[in-house]
Chains A and B, each alone.
Chain A
Amino acid sequence: MSGIAFTLNGGAAMLRGAPGRRLADALRDELGLTGTKIGCNAGDCGACTVLLDGVQVCACLLPAARVAGCRVTTVEGLAQDGALAPLQAAFLRHGAAQCGICTPGMLMAAADLLARNAAPDEAAVQDALGGVLCRCTGYRMIIAAVLDVARTAQPDMPAAGRAVGAAIARRDGVAKLTGAEAFGADAAPPEGCLALRAIRSPHAHARFQIGDCAPLLAAHPGLLRVLTAADLPGGNLYGIYPEGKDQKVLAEAHVRHRGEPVCALLGEAETLAAIRDEDVPIVWEVLPPVTFARAQAAEAVQLHAHAPENILCRGRVARGDAAAALASATVRASIAIETGFVEHAYIEPEAGFAVRVGAPGSERIEITACTQTPYMDRDEIAQLLGLAPSQVRIIPTAVGGGFGGKLDLSVQPLLAAAAWLTGRPVRWVYSRPESMAATTKRHPARIQAAAAADGEGRLTGFRCHGDFNTGAYASWGPTVANRVPVHAMGPYRVPDVLCTSAAIHTNDPPAGAFRGFGVPQAALAGEALMDMLAAQLGLDPLEFRARNALGVGDTTGSGQVLGAGAALPACLDALRPRWAALRGAAAAFNAEASGSLRQGVGIACMWYGIGNTSLPNPSTMVMGIDHAARPILFSGAVDIGQGSNTIMGQIAADALGVPVAALHLVTGDTDRTRDAGKTSASRQTFVSGNAARLAGEALRGEILRRANAGPHARIALEAGVLCVSEAGRTIKLDLASMPADGEGLVLRGEGRFDPPTTPLDADGQGIPYASYAFAAQIAVVEVDLDLGTTRVLRIVAAHDVGRAINPQLVEGQIHGGIAQGLGLALMEEFIPGRTENLHDYLIPTIGDIPPIETILIEEADPLGPYGAKGVGEPALIATAPAIFNAIAHATGIRLTRAPATPDRLRAALLAAR
């Protein structure tokens, strides 16, 4: 048939595929324009937004035939002659793209608006961009960018030695704005790629048998092979903890959660799409599921041999005598709270491809996919395929959001097995429902806590137990169980504490790592207690916290004495004026309120240990100079949108003493970089940042040694020549004559950093983390008492970041964390099988995020690179408790279940009457 002729980005274009296919697929697969992203294929996320005759539409819900004779504009059509359009430049300037997966959609929606309204106000921006979801930025910087397209000047790049502390634009920013950045589904797979599709359990708990697949294969010539557990080339077991691998690449006769893969179809993409799940001969025997509520009941079956009573593991921190302290206290408060599953909801579903390469005898497997942890992936895949780690290469693509969810393996094991078995490249892109059903979540929690204080408002005791639903498999369950007891009492001086936790197996999807590892759930309980105690004592909630805030020289519940940089008191001091003004304004509003709206202002504090809990946590970086005098940083730290590519560059450039603009960066690829550890636990700035600093310093030392120059000499790189100058003399190093190593480097430095920690004893005493970040946030809410709806009006966030290597990126992390905290507080709850899409599972939209004021407290951490600590997770933790405390202030209702949906808040209001 003849094609579909249309105008694409100003030029003539033709589509030849089926007329009913989605425009998004046609643009990406047929025309190779992968700037248009697919986050859901359902109209829910807006990542696929393009302009059709000038107005924004979802390309994923547009039949390709519809564009015949029309004008289509995609993100690739925005920049003209290689120059960013003013809108794109504004996004760059404002840090409006983090991971960048939503950015093309945001830009197209904004372009539609600006074409109609050159000077929009904030409400108009929210209205026009309301259909594009962003999980990273918290939207405020996007709004600021759209409101600021008129300005054009980009800030200058800092001079040598001035990069740390500068709000430079992200290094990978331009690629994210033009559509050039390749995410998991964008990386071009080799010719002849096979498609893969997993058949997953529709049941939470079942036994199954796979029948004879011959008829299925015969009926579908495009179906090459059905992979089952028996076909896997090496092992079948994987998992985060070496001693507790419990998850199967393909289930063997028994599935423990809905979404668990039981077999995989390999073949032509179109054929696979046309096969229905029920066409695959699987006989299910459905078993009663183990639920969180009844996992320890007598009738509950034990899901894993190693987990009696379905308890995977426990955590404990005990110091002093909490029971006695509680019994003898002047005031006491207790609470029990519950939270549900929370989904990471990154806009990029997992995707990638695997290729078997090399001559027989020296074969390797190469996996190109989105991941937060390339080295763990490499070792795990090697173990699964029975290969040496050196036979596995992981090439991370740009990551369209991770938040912990891309620390676990997803597409990699089956891709690797399939490519290894067939010898053909294999590609796999998760669908949105698949991504939501099959990957990890935030642990649902049931937490009981009690706290006590003396008459002066000093905390005397704290007791807490948290049960965490870790789902069918361990994943990061032990991390949560260990981390929570250390943090549960909050960032306060409490002499007597007893905090315990248990990770419990159920037939729910595995809960894993999600920004905060259980601490956000615990903070909901702890911060409620602080308000309750303050109220009993007649103290202001902020003052009560200030009286107890952990500071330099104080001892934590783990017996650790905090060193310089513990800056919660400074955070609270910084909030005081805003707190007084906002509480006053809310009181004035409520005094006049006649309708059903009431305002409330709440506060919450948090602390967060940076890096792994009492475990080695090293990062190694290499920095070198090549023949062309280019300084190159080889960084294994994966940038998942948080900006580590930029941060590492700023640190390394200053350590070496060259302008950051001159620095080249090689990232990720396990063949080219060293292990920088995973992008998790807010550790990259602190741990890998130190490694980058040490690498830069080592390289600088090497250069100065060769030039025989003193420590304060200036290093300059000009036109392929390396010059070292000092006290009026300049030495040129003849790079051309130096031998280059395997990486093309003539001079090199290596840096390795492992934060100093000690193991925790049976009572959780020791030094679990080398550094802690602190924060305090204020939330202002408006509650409609009649309807039970809550709207957050403002967040004021004071964060102790040690040193802001890049204030714009730090602020971006804080905004994004706050948006996720707001979602946790008000709307997000994943229910397996029921909310596996982005319209039943709601995350905040641009209309939900209020103005955010950030206050950065910079009290250098002596261990951090240039004093810096992490901020990724800290940003989220205080938000939900601050909102809950604000709701309590507005209504008198202390909610004990998150999220505070209108029905729950209404029910609580009715019950209190």
Chain B
Amino acid sequence: MNRFDYARPATIAEAVALAAEPGATYLAGGTNLLDLMKGDLVRPARLVDVTHIPGLDAIEPLADGGVRIGALVRNADLAHDADFARRFPAIAEALLAGASAQLRNAATAGGNLLQRTRCAYFYDAASACNKRTPGAGCDARGGETRMQAVLGWSEHCIATHPSDFCVPLVAFDAIVEIEGPKGRRECPLEHFHRLPGDTPERESDLAPGEMITAVRLPGAAAQFAGHARYLKVRDRTSYAFAIVSAAAALRLDGETIVEARLALGSVAAKPWRAHAAEALLAGAQANEANFRRAAEAALAEARPAGANGYKIELARRVVRRAFILAHAGTPARIQALPASPFATGALRHV
């Protein structure tokens, strides 16, 4: 870890000014940044700790029925906000399926969006990684690819974005509010993260010095509350990054789907919205055959980045299952082991 200077601005304007210097980095919960600094993967000259800026930790209802989530709202506080969890249950479920209680108590909404990939080669200073050192090459190609991308990857990078939170957010058309040296702007979450192309080092739409101030959900998102689920397949029952995950939501008129939402996690360098699958379901009957077709459509362009072809079929199944669960209806309260395929309640056993 390098030596760095530590600043604690009291306003957004101050923060943006402090972050304008080259080498400055925003610090929120620190759950990702401190780890990256320990590994010397980022060596900031200055940490701009935004956690003391007042007003960024509010969950504000909006006139259209949507909600504005301040960038500093902690993952746990958001998931446990009763009103939020009632109206956006799949998001609460995704939050609770991520990391551990300790980390959710520290991690912020803004930080979650900007967490870096968990590609093991990115973390290993001895491996070539285009994301770490542009042009160095990518040792993940031809290496261990079990957890890598099957959608949207390029020859230059096959890493995934590991967030759970972002998956339902992108399904529900979340908007990122940004403040920077050039003022305020906003960006749909769907366009916030970038696919690697030939610049995998550029992961988001943020320009240097720009800061996330909030994430907004439109009122339409709350209309799915009765049929919205998040499903996460992982190698152990809790406290593990997803192999594949999906957020699926339905608006139903009887058994007819009025509108469907679908996004996949841990399959690409961004949370992956599946518009084609949604279009296919709009107006269709809510049944397994249609969910299966939707799953096919969602993965139509998938291709293995190595020995991870299994993820494609697994993702199809996860999509199908997520829709089946969503169709069955959002449970009244989030079960133990959130988003687990096994969370079927108490063990029925002799």
Residues of A bordering B, CB below 8 Å: 18-20, 22, 41-43, 46, 49, 52, 55-58, 60-63, 65-66, 109, 112, 123-124, 126-128, 130-132, 202-203, 273-274, 276-278, 581-582, 584-585, 589, 597, 780, 782, 784, 786-789, 791, 793-794, 826-827, 831, 833-837, 839-840, 842, 844-848, 850-851, 901-903, 906-907, 910
Contact = CB atoms under 8 A, between A and B. Distances in A.
A585 B348 CA distance: 9
A786 B317 contact: yes
Q: Per DSSP, are chain A's interface residues mostly helix, strand or loop, or mixed?
A: mixed
Interface centre among B34, B144, B233 (most CB of A within 10 A): B34
A130 B34 contact: no
Contacts of B30: 61-63, 66
B236 A18 contact: no
B51 interface: yes
A902 B243 contact: yes
Contacts of B243: 902-903
Nearest to B243: A902
Contacts of B3: 274
Given A127-B337, A273-B1, 14 more contacts: A56-B101, A61-B30, A61-B103, A109-B101, A126-B238, A127-B336, A276-B125, A786-B317, A786-B321, A788-B314, A789-B341, A839-B241, A842-B236, A910-B313
Interface in B43-67: 47, 49, 51
Interface residues of B, number: 61
A3 B32 CA distance: 25
A20 B6 contact: yes
A585 B336 contact: no
Given A845-B236, A903-B314, A791 B1 contact: no
Given A787-B318, A902-B314, A847 B337 contact: yes
Interface of B: 1-4, 6, 8, 27, 29-31, 34-35, 38, 40, 47, 49, 51, 76, 99-103, 105-106, 118, 120-121, 123-127, 143-144, 146, 233, 235-241, 243, 310-311, 313-314, 317-318, 321, 336-337, 341-342, 344, 347-350
Contact of A56 (B40, B102, B318): B102
Contact of B336 (A18, A126, A202, A901): A126
A376 B321 CA distance: 56
A847 B317 contact: no
Main secondary structure of the interface of B (DSSP, over half): loop
B236 A22 contact: no
The 7 closest A-B pairs by CB, nearest first: A131-B100, A202-B126, A123-B336, A847-B237, A847-B238, A834-B120, A903-B310
B126 A902 contact: no
B133 to A, nearest CB: 12
Contacts of A130: 100-101, 238-239
Contacts, number: 177
A839 B103 contact: no
B101 A277 contact: no
A43 B103 contact: yes
Given A20-B4, A791-B342, A834-B124, A589 B101 contact: no
A834 B105 CA distance: 28
A907 B310 contact: yes
Contacts of B241: 839
A585 B350 contact: yes
B51 A906 contact: no
Nearest to B233: A787
Contact of A131 (B121, B123, B239, B341): B239
Most chain A Cβ neighbours within 10 Å, of B40, B235, B337: B235
Given A41-B38, A65-B49, A831 B233 contact: no
A57 B102 contact: yes
B237 A43 contact: no
A203 B127 CA distance: 10
B138 to A, nearest CB: 14
B44 to A, nearest CB: 9
B244 to A, nearest CB: 9
A62 B106 contact: yes
Contacts of A132: 100
A842 B146 CA distance: 14
Nearest to B240: A842
B31 A131 contact: no
A123 B334 CA distance: 12
A713 B310 CA distance: 73
B128 to A, nearest CB: 12
Contacts of A842: 235-236, 240
A57 B105 contact: yes
A787 B231 CA distance: 11
A277 B39 CA distance: 11
Contact of B35 (A19, A61, A278, A840): A61
B31 A58 contact: yes
Given A43-B35, A46-B102, A202-B125, A845 B313 contact: no
